[in-house]
Amino acid sequence: MSGVASFDDTLSKLGIGRQGVAGTPRLQTAVEANMLGQEAFLKLMTEQLKNQDPFEPVKNENMVAQMAQFSSVTGISEMNKTLKSVADQLGGANAAQAVSYVGRAVLVEGNTAYAAADGSLSAVAPLEEGADELVVQISDQAGNLLRTINYGAQGKGDVEVNWDGKTDEGGTAPAGPYKITASALRNGTRVASPVAVWAPVTSVSLGSGGGAPMLNLAGLGQQPLTAVRQVG
C-alpha cells in the first residue's frame, strides 16, 4: 500500500476526511484533495495523544513544532487571501483613477509634444545630476530643427522648459506635434538627457484578466499610471 493510501486509511479509521469529518458531501479540487484541514489536524493530534505509548510519549517540542508548522501554513494561506483581496480593490481603484484622466493632460517622459492654444509649449527636463550646460532642441515631425534653447549650467532636479512657439529666426513655428530633445554637457562630454512632456489622455485600456490599466496618450502610445509625474 502506498504512503498516501496508508495515510488516507488512517484518517478514515479516525472518521477524518482531508478537508474535515468524513461523510460530508463536497467536491474537492486536486489541491484540496491533498490538504489536511484544521479540524482534521486537531482531531488527528488528539488521537495521537490518546494512543501514544505511555513509556515513550510525544515530546513537547515535537508537538509544538507540529502545531507551529500547521499554524504557519494556515497563516500564509489566510494572508494570501487577504493580499489578493487588497490587490483586487487596488486594481479597481487604479481603473477608476485611469478613467478620470481621460480628456486631461499628464506629464510623462517622452519626446513628442503638443503646443497650447497660443502656440507655446511647456515641458520638464529632469536632471539626475548637475550639468555644465543644458540644451533643449525642438523640431517638427520631419526632423527639421525649429528652435534651440540654451539653459546654461543647471543643478540636479527638474528644469522647466518653456517655448514661445517661435523659430530661431523669430517666425511662428508650423503646427505641431513637435519633437523635443535635451542634452547635458558634463566635463566636456555631451550626453542625451530625458524630457517629460504634457500629453493628452485620449482613452484608457483596461487590461484583460485583471491587468493594470494603461493610458492611451496622443503621440506617445500607451503608458502605465506609474509613468505619470503630474496631472494637468
Domain boundaries, the chain: 3-97, 105-231
203 strand-pairing partners: 216
Please give the radius of gyration of the chain, using alpha carbons only, rounded to the nearest integer: 32
pLDDT digits (tens, 9 = 90+) for 167-199: 999 999 998 899 999 999 999 999 999 999 998
Q: Flag whether pLDDT at 21 surpasses 60.
A: no
Give, for 137, the enclosing helix (H) or strand (E): strand 133-139
* Phi then psi dihedrals of residue 112, to 5 deg: -110, 120
86 strand-pairing partners: none
Residue 131 pLDDT: 94
Mean pLDDT of 27-40: 54
* Phi then psi dihedrals of residue 169, to 5 deg: -85, -5
Residue 180 pLDDT: 94
Share of the chain above pLDDT 90, in %: 33
Q: Flag whether pLDDT at 165 surpasses 70.
A: yes
Cβ of 110: how many Cβ atoms within 10 Å?
21
CA 174 – CA 145 distance, rounded (Å): 12
Instruction: Name residue, grid cell 515535537.
Output: 62
How far, in whole angstroms, is CA 94 from its chain's centroid? 10
Fold of 105-231: Immunoglobulin-like (2.60.40)
Residue 151 pLDDT: 95
Contact 111, 195 (CB under 8 A): yes
In terms of pLDDT, which residue wins out, 102 or 27?
102
Mean pLDDT of 2-11: 57
What average pLDDT does the structure give for the chain?
Answer: 76
Mean pLDDT of 75-91: 56
Q: Flag whether pLDDT at 38 surpasses 70.
A: no
Q: Flag whether pLDDT at 60 surpasses 60.
A: no
Instruction: Name residue, grid cell 481603473.
Output: 95
Q: Number of H helices and number of E strands within the chain?
A: 3, 14
The model's confidence at residue 144, banded by pLDDT at 50, 70 and 90, is very high
Sign of CA dihedral 203, 208, 210, 214: negative
Contact 167, 147 (CB under 8 A): yes
Residue 205 pLDDT: 83
In terms of pLDDT, which residue wins out, 139 or 85?
139
Residue 212 pLDDT: 78
pLDDT digits (tens, 9 = 90+) for 94-129: 677 778 888 888 899 998 988 888 889 999 999 999
Residue 20 pLDDT: 46
199 strand-pairing partners: 106
CA 9 – CA 12 distance, rounded (Å): 5
Residue 196 pLDDT: 94
pTM exceeds 0.75, yes or no? no
Q: Flag whether pLDDT at 206 surpasses 70.
A: yes
Instruction: Name residue, grid cell 507655446.
Output: 120
